Amino acid sequence: MNGSFMETPVRGVTTLSSEKFPDAWEHWLGVEFLEIVGLHHGDRVLDFGAGPGHYSLPAALTVGRRGAVYALDTNHARLRIIRDKARHRGIRTITPLLVDGEPPAPLREASLDVVLAFDVMHLVTDRTQWYREFWRLLHPNGCLTVYPKHCKDDMPLGGLADCTIAQVRAEVERCDFRLRSFHRKHLCHDESQVQGVVLSFHKGE
Ligand SMILES: C[S@@+](CC[C@H](N)C(=O)[O-])C[C@H]1O[C@@H](n2cnc3c(N)ncnc32)[C@H](O)[C@@H]1O
């Protein structure tokens, strides 16, 4: 696991014009992506740092009516965007959660199947505290999936600027998670389709 992931093109990828991409991502490309990284029908999902919902919306389509998506963010305006998009599309399973940015999250222990932490860990003050909080929230077979955008290997920024992907993996594993899978995929960053690495962890023994 090193910087070389940025150098090899991903094969078998649908590329779309930049105007069409965000909508296509939220309706179907994101669903395909989330199924590959481990989301299932009926799952209860926390989208930590949900932003404008580029992952909350397809997550809701993936988990279906029997599932639930908690879109957690510190930014009220972004949560309103998610609420409006969900209403417009007739999606009722997304619950926006406005928080102050510090753990604990307003959710019960062992109440989740999946936590998505996509393009957000470079922004938090104490990553270890949040990884421990994700551990508390996930049930024993639950899955934490991290997109460590802005680490040293991928447009370094904020708190991850000096961390390689291998170091991100090590810091998550120090919080009693174990790496389950590693995906190099095209995904959504801001409004664009980019290539990135996603790490999925399960709770250790
Ligand atoms: C760069 S955006 C990523 C949005 C989304 N996850 C995606 O990948 O498209 C990061 C989001 O995390 C939110 N955020 C930053 N720090 C946070 C924290 N401590 N707790 C919850 N949300 C946070 C920001 O308000 C912002 O909406």
pLDDT at residue 14, rounded to an integer: 57
Domain that holds residue 123: 19-203
Tokens of 114: 């999946």
Question: Is 26 within the bounds of a domain?
Answer: yes
Question: Is 50 exceeded by the pLDDT of residue 1?
Answer: no
Confidence of residue 3 (pLDDT cuts 50, 70, 90): very low
Cα 115 to ligand 1 centre (Å): 13
> Closest Cα to atom 17, ligand 1: which residue?
101
Please tell me the predicted confidence (pLDDT) of residue 159. 97
Secondary structure (3-state) at 185: strand
User: CATH no. for residue 47?
Assistant: 3.40.50.150
69 vs 191, residue with greater confidence: 69
Binding site membership of 94 for ligand 1 (Cβ less than 6 Å): no
Number of domains in the chain: 1
* Residue in 87, 86, 82 with CA at minimum distance from that of residue 51: 82
For ligand 1, atom 13, which residue shows the shortest CA distance?
Answer: 49
Tell me the mean pLDDT in the region 110-122: 98
Any domain includes 163? yes
Which residues lie below 8 Å from residue 157, measured CB to CB, with a gap of 6+? Answer: 122, 150
Average pLDDT in the chain: 92
pLDDT of 22 strictly over 90 = no
Domain-located, residue 6: no
